[in-house]
A and B are shown apart, each in its own frame.
Chain A
Amino acid sequence: DTGVSQNPRHKITKRGQNVTFRCDPISEHNRLYWYRQTLGQGPEFLTYFQNEAQLEKSRLLSDRFSAERPKGSFSTLEIQRTEQGDSAMYLCASSLVGGYYEQYFGPGTRLTVT
């Protein structure tokens, strides 16, 4: 399978704990995006990387959130001191650079903060 993969698929954590999610994009894709989706809403953009550089961050990405893509391949999204409002589906997508290129999404990580 050469699609976007995300791990874990599900994460249940207690409020105040830190969590980390991983995304492996399609291998030839330079761009990697993180989105968050809550019930009844469409995905909302969080941040994106071109190779290893983080080029844009949404206002949704509070100081408790940090994302990395150290070697321009896989990416991690860490949430520190989780809150119940962080419960959501976290989606990763990847695409080629430039022009009009569709983004391909992974299956997502469902986070539940209790």
Chain B
Amino acid sequence: DQQVKQNSPSLSVQEGRISILNCDYTNSMFDYFLWYKKYPAEGPTFLISISSIKDKNEDGRFTVFLNKSAKHLSLHIVPSQPGDSAVYFCAASGRGSQGNLIFGKGTKLSVKP
């Protein structure tokens, strides 16, 4: 059973518009959430994170929203750029996990010029 789910395998967005990537989790012990971006043949690159004491965190064009009651988080990219085209992974960790991350299967974002 998947504890972190990214239900959209792919997303296509026009350059300049907003990209919204979604992630759901099932384990209520998770208290730290991260988004990673991955290009082919490279390791995941850390983008942004949020702890469960917050409901929003911003870093430039990237904003992560956390809805604890719904066990849902989302990554907003505004404005989207062609260089943002990559696979985005949602990851979570929690108390007692010693910090190892549980990843979703990823969403492939394509930003079209």
Residue positions of A touching B, CB distance < 8 A: 4, 6, 31, 33, 35, 40-45, 48, 55-56, 58, 91, 93, 95, 100-108, 110
| Centre residue among B43, B91, B105 by max chain A CB count within 10 A | B43
B103–A43 touching, CB < 8 Å: yes
Contact A42 B99 (CB under 8 A): no
- Within the assembled complex, what's the spacing in Å between the Cα atoms of A33 and B45? 15
A-B pairs, top 4 by smallest CB distance, nearest first, are A42-B103, A105-B43, A45-B100, A102-B46
The listed residue (B42, B43, B89, B100) touching A42 by CB distance below 8 A is B89
User: Chain B residues with Cβ under 8 A from A42's Cβ?
Assistant: 4, 89, 91, 103-106
Contact B98 A55 (CB under 8 A): yes
When the two chains form their complex, are residues B98 and A48 in contact, meaning their CB atoms are under 8 A apart? Answer: yes
Residues of B with C-beta under 8 A to A106: 43
Nearest residue (CB) in B for A3 is B43
Q: In the complex, A105→B39 CA distance in Å?
A: 13
Measured between beta carbons, the chain A residues less than 8 angstroms from B105 are 40-42
A-B contact count (CB 8 A): 60
Q: Mark B35-48, 1 if CB is under 8 A from A, else 0.
A: 01000011111100
Q: Contact between A91 and B43 (Cβ–Cβ < 8 Å)? A: yes
B102 touches A45 (CB 8 A): yes
Q: Is the CB of B45 within 8 A of A102?
A: no
A44 to chain B, nearest CB (A): 7
Q: Are A107 and B42 in contact (CB under 8 A)?
A: yes
Question: B102 — which chain A residues lie within 8 A by C-beta?
Answer: 45
Cα-based distance from A35 to B100 in the complex (angstroms): 9
Cβ contact within 8 Å between A31 and B99? yes
B66 within 8 A of A: no
Contacts of A105 in B (CB 8 A): 36, 43-46
**B85 in the interface (beta carbon within 8 A):** no
- From B51, B101, B106, A103 is in contact (CB under 8 Å) with B101
B65 within 8 A of A: no
Tell me the nearest residue of chain B to A105, going by C-beta: B43
10 examples of A-B residue contacts, CB within 8 angstroms: A35-B101, A42-B103, A42-B106, A43-B44, A58-B100, A100-B51, A105-B36, A105-B44, A108-B42, A110-B41
